[in-house]
Structures are given as structure tokens and as C-alpha cells.
Amino acid sequence: MTPLSDQEFKQFYIDNFPKVQTFIFAKCGDLELAEDLAQEAFIRYWQNYMTIEPQKARSFLFTVSNNLFLDNIRHAKVKNNYSKAFQQVCNNQDPQYLIEMEEFKHRLDTTLQKMSEAVREVFLLNRIEKMTYAQIADSLGLSVKAIEKRMQKALEIFSDLKKSIID
């Protein structure tokens, strides 16, 4: 395949960006998210265009944008389940306990944010979604050994959090 010139890519972008954005917007109803995912789809097209036949370029864009949308939904679901897992059941508890729980939640959130996305994803899928290592490996297209290593890294990070709380 011959490389696309800047002008060819620009024209392809101008012709197709509104269609991809509308496609995503129809699925999610969020214009900003639709724009972000459409831009990400074009970035992925740009990174892979040498391996894509020109007549399949639009199909590639729509497939990638649909996959990005589905990934976004999965991520939001995991995030929502994680959030629900730590909601308070009882609101009339000791104020000191509530303050300590808020501090703990903050430290937990901070610890999760410090993890790489790959490690965090494996941890949340296993601990929140209750998926087995084999299920996670299958869904992410990785080996079980890779999942085990990522989980080990997550548990090491949480071990450090535990030590900092106890000290």
C-alpha cells in the first residue's frame, strides 16, 4: 500500500468524521463522548492504514468506533460496580467512622488510579466482576500467565496500601 498524503487523509477525515460521530452519538446520546471516540477511531485508522485496503477503510472506522463504544460501556460498568461496592449502607453511624471510611475510600481510589490501566482492569474484573483469570485472559486476548502477573502487581500495590494504613 502506498502511504496516504496529508491532503488525502485530511479529505478522508472531512468526509467521514461526521458520519462516524453521528453513528456513535446514536448509540450513546453524548456528543462529547461521540466526538472523543470518533477521534480515537481516526487515530487508530492512521496508525494502521498501511494494513487496511482502501475500499475497507470506512468499514474499519465503523468497526473500531463500535468497539471503542463497547469498551467504554464495559469500563463504565466496572466503574459503577466498583462505586456501588463502597457505598454506605447505613447513614446513622459514628461520625468518626464515617470520616475514616471517607479517608479510606480516597486512599483506595488514589491507589487504583496509580495502577496502570492494564493492572487496574485485571484487578477490577477479578475482584468486582468476579471473573476468573481464564475468563479475563479470554476477554482481553491475553494468556492466563499475563493475567496472573498483572494481578500479582495489583496485589503488591494493595499490600503497600495496607502497610501505610497500619503504620
Winning range, highest mean pLDDT, from 79-93, 113-127, 152-166: 113-127
Q: How far is the C-alpha of 44 from the C-alpha of 35, rounded, in Å?
A: 14
Greatest distance between any 2 Cα atoms in the chain: 69
**CB burial of residue 124 (10 Å; 0-12, 13-18, 19+):** buried
Do 103 and 65 lie in one domain? The reply is no
| 102: pLDDT strictly greater than 90 | no
Do 109 and 150 lie in one domain? The reply is yes
CATH of the domain at 70: 1.10.1740
> How many helices and strands in the chain, by DSSP H and E?
7, 0
pLDDT at 4: 77
Least confident of 18-27, 77-86, 140-149: 77-86
Do 98 and 30 lie in one domain? The reply is no
Let me know if residue 80 belongs to a domain: no
Let me know if residue 120 belongs to a domain: yes
Do 37 and 96 lie in one domain? The reply is no
> What average pLDDT does the chain have?
85
Cβ-Cβ contacts under 8 Å for 23 (sequence gap 6 or more): 62, 65, 66
pLDDT at 167: 62
Q: What CA–CA distances, in Å, run from 54 to 3, 14, 50, 57?
A: 11, 16, 9, 5
Do 162 and 94 lie in one domain? The reply is yes
pLDDT tens digits, one per residue of 20-59:
999 998 888 889 999 999 999 999 999 988 888 888 989 9
Q: How far is the C-alpha of 148 from the C-alpha of 155, rounded, in Å?
A: 10
| 90: pLDDT strictly greater than 60 | no
Do 96 and 144 lie in one domain? The reply is yes
Domain count, the chain: 2
Let me know if residue 1 belongs to a domain: no
Question: Residue 111's domain spans which residues?
Answer: 89-166
| 131: pLDDT strictly greater than 80 | yes
